[in-house]
Each structure stands twice: as C-alpha cells, then as structure tokens.
C-alpha cells in the first residue's frame, strides 16, 4: 500500500497534509495520532470510501498496481461508520455482502467468519438485537469475508469486552502474518502489535484557527 | 403616443436605478476583495 | 478476484434480491404507496365521478395518480440506506453502477406492483371505456422504465441532502415531466383510437437518454464517507 | 469603466428606439413593445441555464470549485431573468388573448426552465459541505441537461399550440421590417452584456465568501 503526497480537507480544515508512505505486507501497521488528526480519514481514503483533495494512493497486489477505482475489491474494511441492515440477521447480512461481491460459497463462508470472531451462536439474530460489542465483531467478520490482501481497521477495539479484546489481539497477530493490516488506534495494546507505525501530525483539531 | 412615452420613461428610470445599484454593488465587492 | 463483467451482474442480482427481501420484511414502502395510490384514486373518482366519454381527462387523472404514488415512494430505497448508514456497506460490496441498477430494477418492479392494483381499480371506479390493451401496456411499460430511471437517479442525489425525502417531489418533477406528458398523451391516444407510435418512441428515447446519463453520473454520487 | 458606461448608454438608447423608432409588428400592434424585452429575457434565461450546466459538467470533470461558483451564479441570475421572462410573457398573453396563462409552447418551455432553476437552487440550499453541494448540484444539473431538450422541443408540441408562429419565432428567423430586427438584436446584445456583468459580480462575491470561510478555518465554524 503506497501513498504519495496525500492531502485532504474537511470543508476548510486541513486534516491530511502531504502524507506519503509505502508499506509492504504481510505485517501490522498502526496509524496513531490525537483525536481529529485524520486517522479515520486516512483509513477511509485507503479503503476507497473517500476521495482526497490531493495526492493519490496505489495498492500493489502480487506486484501489479490495482486500479484505485474499484479499490473495494482488494480490501477488507471495518470502521465505526460501517452499519448493517437491521431487518436482516447477522448471517444474512454477511451472505448478502459475499453474494454482492460475487464470492464462492457465500453462506458457508459467512458462517466460517462468524465462528472466527466468536459470533457463531448469534448468526440467526437480527442485527438490531446485537450488543455494540457483538456488532463490532460482525464488522471484523465482514472485513475478513474474502481474505483481502489489505485489511483496514478503524479503532477495531471499540465496544469490545476483555475477552473480545483478547480475541481481537490474536486475530490481528494471526492476520498480520498473512496480509497487510493497518489499524487506526490510540489503544496501547493494539499499537504494541504493530511492527510499523504512521504518526499523524499533532496539528489536527487542536490547531488554533 | 403619450402613453408610450410614459412607459418608456419608466423603463429608462428602472434601467438607471438598476445600473446605479450594480455600480455601488461592484464597488462594495471590490473593497471586500481587498480585505 | 472475479472479472468485472459477470461480477457486476451478480452484484445487481444480489442487491435486487436484498431490496426485495428488505421490502418484504419491512413492507413499509409498498403499503404506503398502495394506500397513497388508492386514496388519491378514490378521492379523484369521488370528486369527478364517471368519465367514460372523456378519454383525455381519464388519461390525465390516471397518470396524476400513478405519478404521485411514484413520487411518494420511489425515493425510499436510497433514503433508507442513508438513514440506516448502510451506504458504506453497500459501497464496499458493489460498484456505484451495480448499486444503482439493482435499485432501479427494484423501483421498476415496485411501480409495476402499484399499477397492478391501481389500474384495474381506476378503470372500474372511473367507468373508463375498455382500453386497447396492447397499446396501453406498451405505454405503461416504457413509461415505467423512464420513471424508474429518472426517479432512481434523482433519489440517489436527494438522499444525501438535509431534507432527504422531502425534496424528492419538487426536485424530480422537472425530470419526470416529459414522461408524464408522453404517457398522458399516449394513454389518451389509445382510448381515442389514435396511433401511439410517437409517444412510445419519445418514452423510449427519454429512457435511453436517462440510462446513458446515469451510467456516467453514478460514479460521482458517493465519494465522501 | 468604459464598458459599463457603454452598456448604460447602449441599453438606454435602444429602450428609446424600441418605443419611438421601431414600427409595430402587423398583427401584434402595441403589444410588440413587450416582446422587445420579453424575448431577450427569455434568451438570457436559456443562456444562463446553458452556462450553469456547462460549468456543472466541468466541475464534475475537474473538481475545481471555481466552476461551481460560476454554475451557482448562473442559476441565480438565470432564475431572475426567467421570472422576468415568465411575467412579461404572461402580460403579453393577457394583452393578446385575454388570458394570463394558456400553456402555449413558449410559455410552457420558459415555465419548465423556472422549475429546473427552482429545483437546482432548492437542492443547493439543502446541502452544507461545499464539495458535496457542488458535486450533487452538478449531478442534478447533468440530469436536467438530459431532460431540457425533451422539455423544450417535445412536451410543448404535445400540448395544442396557440402561439402565432409565422410572425415572431424567436428561435427562427425574424422576417419583417428590418428596423424591428435591429432593435430586437440590439436589446438581445444589451441584455447579454448585462447578464455577464452581473454574473462576474456574483462570482466575485462567491469567491470572497469562500475565502472568508476558509480563513475562519476550523476555529469557530458556526
């Protein structure tokens, strides 16, 4: 994952400023910085959800640069803004996502991912009945749906209980050996897992007008 | 014919007012740009 | 990673099925639209009475009822996504065009299901003369495609505004007007025995123009988180 | 400043000419006077809509907010000229046929443009972030761009036309006394000059507003 002179403004507030980096998978990268320093913005830009004001990002898979237009094919994203359809169950949501992406064995694959994040028993429950901790695990299951080369997690530890954080830590370590994992977090334990780091500037929200 | 002249006079007046208003507006915009 | 051609076809199919299942589960949109269509139909027929000898008035009333039922409900598929913040999920699993096509086809089926109920009732309530079914169904089909294409595109835009659904009627009206005009004129022609070729060509041309424009525009619609 | 003075004198002179020098169109009689102002206003309405749509498409391609300023300014000014054209059209219809509104092709076309302007500006007012507002307004403009030809050339033909086409056909050739044609085109030119002047003013205002918001930055964005 390579970024060149990434700049982005929210309305008029500069959030990312000429940021450049290049990370080689597999491995875990922590994106750190104070609130409002653009951690979530960066993750969303890399996921292709947000078009930047300047600069560009390129994802190389097996040595070949992939078109940034359909970036969503190559990444798994999990962030606080990812919500599921409340009228469907957890399993139905994941199965729909797998079908829409044209993946093989959508239902089976979804069940496997639910087991991986410890939601096997809750597959049949409607999403609006899930606790925020379980919803967060569902996001992780969604991100892992098609074993993407790049995993982008925005504050994955949110709402998780201790047992959940433990499972998350092992999951990140495991995935870190197979693909490039980038995590936006201020949590020390998650940060410690990362071999490399992106420090976002302190200018962020605190910067006086 | 006199009816026409009245309407014409009104039209000229309206055009004059509009023009004067635009000139003043332009001056205000010019000094706004300086600040 | 599957090639883009077949996979976007699968994505459209998956999204269409999801829309139908969501609609079946919540049934909110269909009930509202049917209620709306039937009440506006009942009120017009109550006010106007039987109109068997005036095909032009009948044609206009039929399409006003259908148009307003459409205006009341076609924005729902996108408004539901932005209100439920599920647009991020959608954008992560399918391309903008696939999302739009899935919803467009759903809106088309939605319109047809409203018309299946409203049209027979309209013909009965208003005492309309028996229609030339061939011509009428052709007009309905093409008008539905054009309506769905226009409404889906405009809905995708207004779903991201502050008022969300509120703006849909006013903003979409100028874009829907050509469909309304051609449909009314065609329906009147089929009742009065005149040829409907011109209106059909117009509806087809407008639908194609809108679909072509949508293919270029949908990529610009969802770019900020 | 010379340009402004020239514009002042040019339009003033041709107003006088329209009332004093130009002859009347045979059938229309005194009502011709209104047309000298109604049709240029309608022309500017179409010109402004075209300008707004072109800049909207340019914004989609280049993502430069300058295009958005131009498109928004053109829509606001276009709406004003459209109201003038609609009202003067209705007055003329009242004088000619005794009814303010009778859905003849010219009136319906101008009215449809009014609907598009109103919808475009309503849409803009419902979005806060500048980039998103520019992008969504541009997309709507592109949609309207597709429907305008159908609205102008097709829909009116469907409704029975009352307009005396042979005598004054603003889009076609104007085939009567040359003096009428001279006054008509002169005012058309004058209105166009006026339009571009007001357009430039409105765009400069938009630029200043944008810069002021930017300078206020994140500090106390209200």
CB A175 within 8 A of CB A181: yes
3-state helix/strand/coil string of chain A: CEEEEEEEEECCEEEEEEEEEECCCCEEEEEECCCCCCHHHHHHHHCCCCCCCEEEEEEEECCEEECCCCHHHCEEEECCCCCCCCCCEHHHHHHHHHHHCCCCCHHHHHHHHHHHCCCHHHCCCEHHHCCHHHHHHHHHHHHCCCCCCEEEEECCCCCCCHHHHHHHHHHHHHHHHHCEEEEECCCHHHHHCCCEEEECCCCCCCCCC
**Shortest alpha-carbon distance between residue D220 and chain A (Å):** 8
From the candidates C220, C222, C223, which should be mutated to test the interface with D, based on the most D CB atoms within 10 A? C220
Are D220 and A209 in contact (CB < 8 Å)?
Answer: yes
- Domain hosting residue B19, numbered range: 1-35
Are D136 and C157 in contact (CB < 8 Å)?
Answer: yes
Are D221 and A12 in contact (CB < 8 Å)?
Answer: yes
- Any domain includes D65: yes
pLDDT for A62: 85
pLDDT for D221: 38
Sheet of A2-10, strands arranged across: A13-22, A2-10, A54-61, A64-66
Nearest CA in chain A to C3: A102
Per the structure, how many domains does chain D have? 1
Per the structure, how many domains does chain B have? 1
pTM to 2 decimal places: 0.89
Give the model confidence (pLDDT) of D42-66 as tens digits.
999 999 999 999 999 999 999 999 9
Nearest CA in chain A to C92: A72
Are D219 and A208 in contact (CB < 8 Å)?
Answer: yes
ipTM of the complex: 0.89
From the candidates A95, A100, A103, which should be mutated to test the interface with C, based on the most C CB atoms within 10 A? A100
Sheet of A180-184, strands arranged across: A75-78, A150-154, A180-184, A27-32, A196-199
- The pair of structure tokens assigned to C14 is 């998956």
- Please list the rounded mean pLDDT of every run of 10 residues in chain C (225 residues): 64 95 87 89 86 85 91 90 92 93 96 93 88 92 96 94 86 93 90 87 95 93 80
Evaluate if residue A131 carries a pLDDT over 70: yes
Are D143 and C213 in contact (CB < 8 Å)?
Answer: yes
Q: What whole-number distance in Å separates Cα of residue D135 and Cα of residue A12? A: 16
Listed by start position, the domains of chain C span: 5-221
Half-sphere exposure of D157 (CA within 13 A, CB side): 11
Nearest CA in chain C to D59: C220
Provide the H-helix boundaries in chain D. 2-16, 32-62, 65-97, 105-125, 130-149, 155-158, 178-216
Are D217 and A205 in contact (CB < 8 Å)?
Answer: no
- Any domain includes D177: yes
Are A51 and C224 in contact (CB < 8 Å)?
Answer: yes
Percentage, residues of chain A above pLDDT 90: 33
Which chains does A contact via 3+ CB–CB distances below 8 A?
C, D
| Cis peptide preceding A26, ω within 30 of 0 | yes
E strand or H helix that includes residue C177: helix C168-191
Q: What whole-number distance in Å separates Cα of residue B7 and Cα of residue D95? A: 16
**Shortest alpha-carbon distance between residue A19 and chain D (Å):** 20
Evaluate if residue A25 carries a pLDDT over 60: yes
With b for 16 or more beta-carbon neighbours within 10 A and e for fewer, the A37-62 pattern comes to bbbbbbbbbbbbbbbbeebebebeee
For A196, other C-beta atoms within 10 Å of its C-beta total: 13
Are C89 and A87 in contact (CB < 8 Å)?
Answer: no
Q: Which residues of B touch D16 (CB under 8 A)?
A: 8, 12
pLDDT for D169: 42
Name the band, by pLDDT with cuts 50, 70 and 90, for residue A65: confident
Over range D190-196, report the average pLDDT.
Answer: 94
Evaluate if residue D27 carries a pLDDT over 90: no
Query: Could you tell me how many CB contacts below 8 A there are between chain A and chain C?
Result: 78
What superfamily would CATH give domain A2-85+133-199? P-loop containing nucleotide triphosphate hydrolases (3.40.50.300)
- Domain hosting residue D151, numbered range: 32-209
Over range A78-91, report the average pLDDT.
Answer: 93
Evaluate if residue D160 carries a pLDDT over 60: no
Nearest CA in chain D to B9: D16
**Shortest alpha-carbon distance between residue A207 and chain C (Å):** 23
- Taking the Cβ of residue B17 and every Cβ of chain D, the question of whether any pair is shorter than 8 Å is answered with no
Q: Residue D153 to residues A161, A169, B34, C145, D188: CA-CA distances in angstroms?
A: 65, 65, 47, 21, 22
Evaluate if residue D134 carries a pLDDT over 90: yes
Query: Could you tell me how many CB contacts below 8 A there are between chain C and chain D?
Result: 90
Q: Which residues of B touch D33 (CB under 8 A)?
A: 4, 7
Are D19 and B25 in contact (CB < 8 Å)?
Answer: no
Q: Nearest CA to D89 among D106, D75, D114, D77?
A: D106
pLDDT for D217: 58
Helix, strand, or coil (residue D23)? coil
**Shortest alpha-carbon distance between residue B4 and chain D (Å):** 6
């Amino acid at each position: 994952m390579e970024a060149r002179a990434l700049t982005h403004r929210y309305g008029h507030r500069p959030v990312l400023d000429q940021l450049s980096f290049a990370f080689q998978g597999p491995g875990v990268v922590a994106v750190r910085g104070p609130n409002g320093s653009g951690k979530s913005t960066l993750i969303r830009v890399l996921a292709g959800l947000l078009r930047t004001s300047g600069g560009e990002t390129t994802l190389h898979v097996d040595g070949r640069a992939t078109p940034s237009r359909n970036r969503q094919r190559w990444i798994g994203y999990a962030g606080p803004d990812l919500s599921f359809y409340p009228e469907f169950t957890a399993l139905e949501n994941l199965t729909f996502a797998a079908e829409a992406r044209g993946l093989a064995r959508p239902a089976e694959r979804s069940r496997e991912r639910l087991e991986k994040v410890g939601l096997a028993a809750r597959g049949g429950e409607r999403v609006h009945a899930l606790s925020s901790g379980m919803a967060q695990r569902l996001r992780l299951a969604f991100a892992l749906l098609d074993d993407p080369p790049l995993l982008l997690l925005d504050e994955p530890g949110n709402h998780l209980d201790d047992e959940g954080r433990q499972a998350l830590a092992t999951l990140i370590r495991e995935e870190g050996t197979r693909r490039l994992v980038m995590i936006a977090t201020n949590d020390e334990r998650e940060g410690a897992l990362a071999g490399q780091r992106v420090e976002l500037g302190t200018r962020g929200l605190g910067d006086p007008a | 014919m006199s009816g026409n002249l009245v309407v014409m006079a009104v039209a000229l007046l309206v055009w004059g007012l509009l023009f004067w208003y635009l000139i003043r507006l332009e001056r205000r915009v010019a000094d706004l740009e300086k600040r | 990673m599957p090639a883009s051609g077949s996979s976007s076809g699968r994505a459209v199919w998956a999204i269409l099925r999801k829309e139908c299942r969501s609609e079946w589960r919540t049934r909110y949109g269909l009930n509202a639209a049917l209620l709306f269509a039937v009440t506006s139909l009942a009120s017009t027929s109550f006010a106007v009475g039987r109109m068997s000898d005036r095909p032009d008035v009948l044609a206009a009333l039929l399409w006003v009822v259908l148009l307003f039922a459409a205006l009341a409900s076609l924005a729902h598929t996108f408004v539901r996504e932005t209100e439920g913040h599920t647009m991020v999920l959608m954008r992560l699993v399918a391309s903008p065009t696939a999302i739009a096509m899935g919803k467009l086809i759903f809106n088309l089926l939605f319109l047809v299901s409203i018309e299946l109920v409203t049209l027979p009732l309209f013909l009965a309530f208003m005492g309309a003369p028996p229609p030339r079914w061939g011509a009428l169904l052709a007009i309905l089909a093409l008008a539905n495609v054009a309506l769905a294409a226009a409404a889906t595109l405009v809905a995708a835009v207004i779903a991201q505004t502050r008022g969300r659904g509120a703006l849909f009627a006013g903003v979409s009206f100028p874009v829907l007007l050509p469909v309304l005009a051609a449909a009314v004129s065609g329906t009147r022609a089929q009742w009065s025995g005149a040829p409907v070729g011109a209106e059909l060509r117009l509806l087809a041309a407008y639908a194609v123009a809108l679909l072509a424009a949508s293919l270029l525009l949908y990529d610009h619609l969802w770019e900020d988180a | 400043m010379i340009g402004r003075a020239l514009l002042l004198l040019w339009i003033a002179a041709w107003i006088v000419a329209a009332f004093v020098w130009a002859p009347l169109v045979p059938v229309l009689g005194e009502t011709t006077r209104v047309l000298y102002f109604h049709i240029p206003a309608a022309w500017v309405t179409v010109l402004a809509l075209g300008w707004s749509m072109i800049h909207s498409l340019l914004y989609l391609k280049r993502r430069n907010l300058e295009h958005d300023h131009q498109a928004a300014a053109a829509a606001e000014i276009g709406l004003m000229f459209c109201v003038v054209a609609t009202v003067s059209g209705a007055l003329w219809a009242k004088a000619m046929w005794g009814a303010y509104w009778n859905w003849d092709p010219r009136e319906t076309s101008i009215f449809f443009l009014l609907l598009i302007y109103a919808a475009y500006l309503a849409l803009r007012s419902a979005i806060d972030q500048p980039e998103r507002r520019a992008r969504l307004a541009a997309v709507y403009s592109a949609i309207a761009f597709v429907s305008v030809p159908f609205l102008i050339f097709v829909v009116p033909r469907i409704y029975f036309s009352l307009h005396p086409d042979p005598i004054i056909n603003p889009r076609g050739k104007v085939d009567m006394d040359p003096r009428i044609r001279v006054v008509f085109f002169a005012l058309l030119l004058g209105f166009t000059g006026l339009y571009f002047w007001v357009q430039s003013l409105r765009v400069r205002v938009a630029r200043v507003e944008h810069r002021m918001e930017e300078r206020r930055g994140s500090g106390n964005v209200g």
